[in-house]
Amino acid sequence: MGFFLETLIGGLMVGMLYSLVALGFVLIFKASGVFNFAQGAMVLFAALAMARFSVWIPQWLGFESRLLANLLALAAALLLMIAMAWLIERLALSRLVNQEGITLLMATLGIAYFVDGLGQLIFGSAVYQIDIGMPKDPLLLFDSVFEGGLLVSQEDLYTTVIAAALVAALTLFFQKTGTGRALRAVADDHQAAQSIGISLSRTWIIVWSVAGGVALVTGIIWGSKLGVQFSLSLVALKALPVVILGGLTSVPGAIIGGLIIGVGEKLAEIYLGPYLGGGIEGWFAYVLALGFLLIRPQGLFGDKIIDRV
């Protein structure tokens, strides 16, 4: 029982991180109606910025405090992601208003390659580390209840709390604020939103800035766990099954989908791995997403599309 609970808790923690990655896709889709293939590149760029600024800023300003360096690096990386959001809106999206979805999709693919190249040009292509002071030693819990207790990674526990808090804040933002309702209106119909005075330019800058902030938090968390390297952008691919499962238009769906994928792949690796071979964690999420596409294409919480002829 203890081993099962360890696996379950580990899956929930990883699933919350998947949800955080998926949120970036959902935010952009809700505001522009396009699937943002640049989200993985944004995660990598933000992680690179955080890793390099935390080293460069102490050198520039001449101090040795790691905490101060991390705080200043976080602020600088956030400002950089907001500036990137403004440039993306001004140079690309504002010129593609009311264009076909495939046009916007190809634009995000171009942005992804550009951001990847820009990150390598500015920050280099070496493997970097992000140290934000989170403990990495395992924590023993409930040793009086289960034989041997439950081993839980302290780093995973901290990152899960951070991810959960950000997810909750974004959910409230979309549901309870006027700006969040404006974002939903823009997602439903660009022209109708413009006709009632909602600025597409302002809305898209806001949502891309928020998505950039989400990418920064995601990049810091995954960079701390795995190191900052260019394969980090592939982590975002795990968000594809999450948004398919939860629904492209649903923030709660991204949360539930991430938890299902995280728990499912951990349990499958442990209990099906001996019979099917290793590596189940690599493909389980995609097989599950394919099954949902066949049964419920809009996902668990997505809006069902009805075409009237």
Q: CA-CA distance, 204 to 31, in Å (whole number)?
A: 7
pLDDT at 18 over 70: yes
- pLDDT tens sequence across 20-42: 888 878 877 877 677 788 888 88
Residue 21 located in a structural domain: yes
pLDDT at 306 over 70: no
Residue 291 located in a structural domain: yes
- pLDDT tens sequence across 163-205: 888 878 887 887 788 777 777 777 666 677 777 777 777 787 8
pLDDT at 309 over 60: no
Residue 304 located in a structural domain: no
- pLDDT tens sequence across 196-232: 777 777 787 888 888 888 889 888 888 888 788 877 7
Q: CA-CA distance, 145 to 234, in Å (whole number)?
A: 39
- Asked if residue 255 lies in contact with residue 167, where contact means CB atoms within 8 angstroms, the answer is yes
pLDDT bracket for residue 78 (50, 70, 90):
very high
The CATH number assigned to the domain holding 9 equals: 1.10.3470
Q: CA-CA distance, 258 to 9, in Å (whole number)?
A: 13
Tally of domains in the chain: 1
Residue 302 located in a structural domain: no
pLDDT bracket for residue 54 (50, 70, 90):
very high
Q: What is the mean pLDDT of residues 121-140?
A: 82
User: What is the model's pLDDT at position 25?
Assistant: 83
Residue 92 located in a structural domain: yes
Residue 309 located in a structural domain: no
Residue 305 located in a structural domain: no
Instruction: Find the domain containing 160 and state its range.
Output: 2-295
Residue 200 located in a structural domain: yes
